[in-house]
Structure 1
Amino acid sequence: MLHTELLPRDTAVRLIDENGTAVTDEHYALPDADTLVRAYRGLIEGRRINDQAGALVRQGRLAVYPSSHGQEACQVGASMAIGDTDWLFPTYRDSVAVIARGVDPADALVLLKGDWHSGYDVRAHRVAPQTTPLATQLLHAVGFAQAAKHRGEDTVVLALCGDGATSEGDFHEALNFAAVFHVPVVFFVQNNEFAISVPLSRQTAAPSLAHKAIGYGMPGQRVDGNDVAAVLAVLGEAVERARTGGGPSLVEAHTYRMQAHTNADDDTRYREREEVQAWGARDPLVRLRTYLAGIGALDDAAEAQFAAGAETIATAMRAALNTDTDLDPEDLFRFVTETRSPQLEEQWALLRGEIERGRPENAENAATPTGGHR
């Protein structure tokens, strides 16, 4: 028996086209104007965060930044689709989504500066630490959702990943476990066409990544990842399904990474400029701006207000990353486990001794033989 209800559509769900015109869909409703205005503000802030972070990398104040320029509709849609009791499990490219969930921008970038474990209180924001290994956070997300289910909590977990992560074994294990145990998790794949330099065609022969869902016994859906209205509608349905006991879902967003993988990548080596320019015409900001202006929901005053708010965020980012971090070596041991083991205590004692012996005053005394002449 073929469970066709689990199969995604042949084409991605779209509610606002590239020209900013509303598209009627027989299943998904266009979000209301107020929701879309909030989403537009998020897109403006997200684009400014990406641009500012890129500048901070060039200035040497950030070690690395994986930009989500062009993917802001996925970032904002993910942050808005879940409720206050839900959790977000992001990747390294999801700083905009993390910030949109209420994490201070300076704290969200600490990991990419390279001087702390996470930078923010995960419990306070219900946002798991950003991860650089591909797909490992998916297993964590499923385990967290399973625990929430056992405790009877009103919690849905939204687990983000890229197309490259779908080639990892962790992806298979996470989806299989989630489906078998019917846990409230939504897998959101931001398919930006490249896993660093490897195109999607070299990763899978499936009709789409969303088609993988039926193999695990969960529904899959495809969405235009540059249409924030469609992202909100499709993710919203999947989240509600998980919340009401319907189990996990897989949503694939078709989008594009407009910039290099990170500042250490030269994307001109593996893709043509014409391809990048073609996707530039599908910019999620321009699309939503055109629609909102057309229905009279956006004017110059609102645009100016949103731009000023985004600039405030950028200013705070510059100020926070222009300061030196006071490093505490004991942090290497303080956050390994909740209760420090005797082995960790012994290791910290050894390191503390090395640090003490290396202090200038101690080094000077050690260099002077007892009873000798200086």
Structure 2
Amino acid sequence: MKKIKNIVFIVLIIILNCNLVFGCSKGKEEPKGKLSVLIQNNASQDVDVINTLIANYKKAHSQIEIKIENMTENEKIEKVTVDKPDYDVLICERNMMISMARQGYLSDISSNVSNNKMIDKFYSIVSTYGRIDDKYYGIGVMPYSLNFIYNRQQAAGYIKNSDEIDLMSLLRMSKEKNVKIPIVLPKEMDISLAVASIIADNMINEADLEKNFDIGQEKYKKLSQMQEVFKFMNTLYKDYGVSVDKFILSDSSIVKKVESGEVPFALVTTLSSKEIDESKNIAIVNNNIIDSSKVNPPVIIDHLVCQLQNAKNKDEVVRFLDYLSDDESYKALGKEGIITGNRSANSELKGLQSQMIWPISIANENNIVFYHNLPYKMKPHIVEQTKNLINGVYSGSEWQTIVDKTYTEKK
């Protein structure tokens, strides 16, 4: 009997030890969970970076079930995220973020931004893009800017004082010498919208657009500063020959052609930065359109990561936002020569790439591209008018036409 008791006692000790061992081991395991992500417009040029970040997150958190869905219909996105609480994270454009936040459909993530010291780790524009009034609703993923670039040696044959060329000098020369300028732009931006964005960056107070977001037909018509942008586009067409024929569609290989001197000038974005990491022959045009001023070009962030108010898996959303706020998440991208909004990752960049960081590094709320502070339903009508302008058709009532079509046409 005593022997049986000893055996039972030994078995109990073994069981307890096993529980302790496996219990501790289990405590160290990655918490299991779910995360459902909805991405608006997965055709934009920054989506590759978004997919890379998500893929790396999956590797680091393999026990979390991550579901990703893409959707392009803006109205449908608002409807499904409100009516069906199936999604935790929405990755969307700024104007959709503003619309949904003001309707109470997005969570305030200001505490996450503060706790993760995002403003210290990232350039100001990354958090500014996700801010509405004094609260944060989104984290910017991939900022990029529009840059006219030129070959230093070749430019000397076209423009005096070619050490620092401003945009108006470039456009003036282009007209006088009939020089066509190759362009490489994201799929969702044509040259007319790019020109309008550069002008608006010089002339528009973006805080006013944000404050008056979706204020309605009659109130929008009173924003006379918008018509000034289109008026100046007409001036560029008449006096500087800025027409659709002035530009030639190209691809990222154009950067190497500018480097070699085969092409003297081009309009590119920092998304092309991988092509020019070691260049010593290329410089960046100062984007000012007003004499004696140095103007930062518009900075664009096509996607912001937002937490939906009715998210079921809030803990997993916080974990994902923490990951996107970590320097380590971006280091591999920096080593590949990709410009991000992360200061530490961008320290890996060299040569002209480090110059191309400048517009992003000093950008503020007034460098948010203007159409991101206007309702997304307005964009097709803006593009329609900017295309008219770059083809020489000016009515003087472009802004009124945009507003009327936005608020009177059937949805």
Short-chain TM bin? under 0.3
TM-score calculated relative to the size of structure 2: 0.24
* Structure possessing the higher radius of gyration over alpha carbons: 2
TM-score calculated relative to the size of structure 1: 0.26
Instruction: Tell me which protein shows more strand as a share of its residues.
Output: 2
